Chain A
Amino acid sequence: MSVVAWLIVAVVVIVVALVAFVVIRRRSRRGGVIATPSRKGTPGATGRTTGDPKP
């Protein structure tokens, strides 16, 4: 392969790596909505956790 061809491959690889880096970095900045455990130490309005038996 000629030098020009190698250069083109190198540029393509670098661009793909940069794009992947930016996409991953941007995704890692994406937040969410997190339900904190209640101060009583049990989650949920009635203090029951999923799977607990009904009172």
Chain B
Amino acid sequence: MTLLMTASEINGLPVVTVHGGEDVAEVRDVLYDPAAGRLVGLTLNKRGFLAGRCREVLPAESIHAIGRDAVMVVDDSAMVEPDAAPQEMAHPPANRNVLGNDVLTESGVSLGTVRDLVVVVGGAGEVVGYRIDKADGRPGYIPLPAQLAVSGSALVVPEVTESFVTDDLVGLGAAVDSFRARLGLP
């Protein structure tokens, strides 16, 4: 079953083992590859009200499932030391948090600010779009792949993206398909 979730819904979810049902960690950061449009993995917090950051990370390949109420892993060996993790998530760059970034078109028009990332869970963790706060304050969604560049402060998107901003998640599904067709992507 596939399910659309936002990254903020994944943040804070418990990480639970399928074998044993142990609650081993809690999701801290969602890491994604904007070029590939997929989840790379998750960084973790230790369990407990005041517990700190977990050293181990959870690569996307080791995730059994992401559900509405928990992230499932087969067992706690799914969490790996940073040195054993894929290179891009071993030391996640703290200055590349996209939440709060301005979304700018190539011509310099601001479409709003990034509020969230929309992910299809239940499969390979495909990232399909961003939830933004539009300039007028209302929420909107833009399809991905849309950005030309990501920095610590802005996403730069093609001019055409402006016409694919939708008001809800239902509209985003259709917008992703037509947007990709327009860009000639599979």
For residue B4, give the distance in angstroms from its CB to the closest CB of chain A: 15
A34 to chain B, nearest CB (A): 5
Known: A31-B12, A52-B149. A36 touches B89 (CB 8 A): yes
Residues of A within 8 A of B98 (CB): 32-35
Residues of B within 8 A of A47 (CB): 35
Flag B52-90 by CB within 8 Å of A: 1 or 0 each: 110000000000000000000000000000000001110
> Is the beta-carbon distance between B148 and A33 smaller than 8 angstroms?
no
- Contact at A43–B149, with CB atoms within 8 Å? yes
CB neighbours of B28 from chain A (8 A): 29, 31
Size category of the B interface is 35 or more
Selected contact of A25 from candidates B8, B50, B149, B156, CB within 8 Å: B50
Q: How many residues of A contact B (CB 8 A)?
A: 27
* B149/A35 in contact, CB under 8 A: no
Cβ contacts A to B, 22 pairs, < 8 Å: A28-B52, A30-B11, A31-B27, A31-B43, A32-B29, A32-B98, A33-B7, A33-B8, A33-B97, A34-B29, A34-B32, A34-B97, A34-B98, A35-B96, A36-B33, A36-B92, A36-B93, A38-B34, A44-B147, A44-B149, A50-B153, A52-B149
Closest 7 CB pairs of A and B: A32-B97, A38-B35, A50-B151, A31-B28, A36-B88, A44-B149, A31-B29
